[in-house]
């Protein structure tokens, strides 16, 4: 049985926490609309090893069952697994021997363990399933599976966000850190190194790395672990024209220049103040190592929404390989920054799907579009394009670009995400790329 009942509340959010059992018990009829609660007992205290609530319920088919509910106010994934196992162990302890003496056996567990919290993240819910423990939260997420009962409901948005913590490691800024660690999954990172590589503030980097550890995607590495040398992203610089201080060619901020030329970083990079550096250092002294790269990439894939503008054109160049060569030549001649993606890029990096319908590439800025159109003699079309120019909202798209056969491509992780957006055989090509080039 699967239910889609929404959870409405007439209580202010600040009263919805799990500080008291009453706040949770009040919402039980809404959280478990398919079950009838006939009895309720409280025991222990929140966070103890024994279940805080024992519910006697009746399923829609008329079966009676006990639910051993453990309440957790802080439901970070790193602690969920331990809490789930403690809850299962507590349930086993409630089953007393059927008879004393020789050959005495323990009665099978009659209660079903359920973890309850204010909000359970997708990773926390996944851990509960792995441990075969039901879950329930005040946002409405629910998963119960026992006997002939199956109840499931998914609520992605957290109505009770914590201050000072990013809402998701896949938000536009936080995903720059995810991108960096996925591009170098074997590397051991210090928070300062990661902040510089992803060009994110130290405070934000510290928050995201702690979230990655809490959700079991990464772990603290040993202090004595070997440290990989940083690998700088491949950047194709432009030749800077004379300009006033702090302003790049064309009046834009010099974000396109390498770090040595542009020490201030791009517009979206904020250097940390000495005080912030000191605070972050006191908060984080270890190193970070990715432990579940495949699981992290899967999670990002499910939540990835491309933030870009596409412009369709037609080119008389034939075949597509000739157009790709012309793109590289025009970029070098006109000092244009670009990065091929989709099937055009995969045909050079990991060819699998035959035939390139369109050649797609990211341009550095909207002002560059007219220069590309003129350099390649492109014609705007409403249907049947063979050229797609992409303008990304986040310049992190150009992180770790790579040169293959004379053409500049997006990073391998970005290429994988872009291929998944393609309606025609994009998934097949993405799977091949992941198997042959990404490796996890």
The two structure tokens encoding residue 265: 């970083």
Distance CA 172, CA 186 (A): 24
The answer to whether residue 414 scores a pLDDT higher than 80 is yes
Domain 306-438: give its CATH architecture.
Answer: 2-Layer Sandwich (3.30)
Q: What is the mean pLDDT of residues 195-218?
A: 89
The answer to whether residue 242 scores a pLDDT higher than 70 is no
Q: What angle do CA 307, 310, 315 make, to 5 degrees?
A: 155
The larger pLDDT score, comparing residue 107 to residue 322, is at 322
Q: Which residues contact 230 (CB under 8 A, 6 or more apart)?
A: 193, 196, 197
Q: What is the mean pLDDT of the chain?
A: 76
Q: What is the pLDDT of residue 84?
A: 84
Q: What is the mean pLDDT of residues 379-404?
A: 91
Query: 39 — phi, psi (to 5°)?
Result: -155, 150
Q: Using one digit for the tens of pLDDT, what is the confidence trace for 219-229?
A: 888 544 444 44
Task: Check if the beta carbon of residue 34 is closer than 8 Å to that of residue 147.
Answer: no
CATH number of 13-94+110-153: 3.40.1350.10
Q: What is the mean pLDDT of residues 205-209?
A: 90
The answer to whether residue 61 scores a pLDDT higher than 50 is yes
The answer to whether residue 101 scores a pLDDT higher than 90 is no
Q: How confident is the model at residue 238 (pLDDT cuts 50, 70, 90)?
A: very low
List, by residue range, all CATH 3.40.1350.10 domains of the chain. Answer: 13-94+110-153
The answer to whether residue 268 scores a pLDDT higher than 90 is no
Q: 246-260, 358-372, 398-412, 426-440 — which is least confidently predicted?
A: 246-260
Nearest CA among 307, 300, 305, 332 for reference residue 390? 307
Q: Using one digit for the tens of pLDDT, what is the confidence trace for 14-42?
A: 334 445 567 677 888 888 888 888 888 87
Q: How confident is the model at residue 243 (pLDDT cuts 50, 70, 90)?
A: very low
Q: How confident is the model at residue 102 (pLDDT cuts 50, 70, 90)?
A: low
The answer to whether residue 439 scores a pLDDT higher than 70 is yes
Q: Using one digit for the tens of pLDDT, what is the confidence trace for 165-201?
A: 556 788 888 999 999 999 999 999 999 999 999 999 9
List, by residue range, all CATH 3.30.460.40 domains of the chain. Answer: 306-438
232: which strand partners? none
Distance CA 5, CA 140 (A): 9
Q: How confident is the model at residue 149 (pLDDT cuts 50, 70, 90)?
A: confident
Distances (CA, A) of 161 to 36, 157, 429: 30, 9, 37
Nearest CA among 129, 119, 264 for reference residue 196? 264
Q: Using one digit for the tens of pLDDT, what is the confidence trace for 111-138?
A: 889 988 888 888 888 889 988 899 988 8
Task: Check if the beta carbon of residue 318 is closer than 8 Å to that of residue 430.
Answer: no
pTM score, two decimals?
0.61
Q: Taking the CA atoms of 24, 29, 31 and 32 in sequence, report the sign of the dihedral they define.
A: positive
The larger pLDDT score, comparing residue 156 to residue 148, is at 148
Q: What is the pLDDT of residue 379?
A: 92
The answer to whether residue 340 scores a pLDDT higher than 50 is yes
The larger pLDDT score, comparing residue 400 to residue 245, is at 400
Q: What is the pLDDT of residue 27?
A: 82
């Amino acid at each position: 049985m699967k239910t889609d009942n929404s959870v409405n509340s007439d209580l202010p959010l600040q009263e919805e926490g799990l500080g008291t059992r009453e706040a949770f018990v009040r919402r039980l009829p809404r959280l478990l609309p398919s079950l009838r609660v006939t009895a309720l007992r409280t025991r222990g205290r929140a966070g103890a090893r024994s279940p805080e609530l024992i519910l006697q319920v009746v399923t829609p088919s008329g079966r009676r069952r006990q639910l051993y509910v453990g309440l957790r106010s802080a439901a970070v994934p790193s602690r969920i697994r331990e809490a789930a196992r403690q809850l299962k162990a507590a349930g086993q302890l409630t089953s007393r021997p059927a008879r004393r003496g020789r050959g005495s056996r323990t009665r099978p567990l009659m209660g079903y363990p359920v973890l309850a919290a204010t909000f359970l993240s997708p990773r926390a819910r996944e851990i509960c399933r792995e441990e075969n423990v039901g879950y329930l939260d005040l946002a409405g997420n629910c998963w119960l599976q026992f006997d002939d009962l199956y109840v499931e409901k998914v609520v992605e948005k957290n109505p009770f966000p914590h201050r000072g913590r990013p809402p998701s490691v896949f938000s536009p800024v936080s995903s720059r850190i995810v991108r960096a660690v996925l591009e170098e999954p074997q590397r051991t990172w210090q928070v300062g190194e990661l902040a510089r590589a992803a060009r994110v503030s130290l405070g934000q980097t510290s928050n995201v790395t702690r979230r990655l550890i809490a959700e079991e995607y990464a772990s603290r590495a040993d202090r004595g672990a070997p440290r990989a040398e940083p690998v700088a992203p491949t950047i194709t610089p432009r030749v800077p024209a004379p300009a006033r201080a702090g302003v790049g060619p064309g009046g834009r901020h010099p974000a396109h220049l390498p770090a040595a030329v542009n020490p201030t970083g791009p517009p979206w990079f904020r250097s940390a103040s000495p005080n912030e550096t000191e605070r972050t250092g006191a908060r984080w002294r270890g190193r970070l190592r990715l432990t579940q790269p495949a699981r992290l990439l899967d999670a990002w894939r499910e939540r990835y929404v491309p933030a870009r503008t596409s412009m369709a054109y037609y080119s008389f160049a034939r075949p597509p390989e000739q157009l790709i060569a012309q793109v590289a030549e025009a970029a070098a001649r006109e000092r244009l920054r670009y990065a091929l993606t989709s099937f055009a890029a995969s045909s050079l990096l990991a060819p699998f799907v035959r035939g390139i319908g369109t050649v797609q590439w990211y341009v550095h800025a909207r002002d560059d579009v007219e220069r590309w159109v003129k350099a390649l003699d492109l014609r705007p079309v409403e249907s049947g394009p063979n050229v797609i120019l992409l303008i990304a909202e986040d310049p992190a798209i150009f992180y770790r670009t790579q040169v293959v056969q004379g053409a500049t491509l997006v990073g391998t992780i970005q290429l994988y995400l872009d291929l998944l957006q393609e309606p025609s055989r994009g998934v097949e090509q993405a799977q091949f790329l992941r198997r042959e080039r990404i490796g996890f």
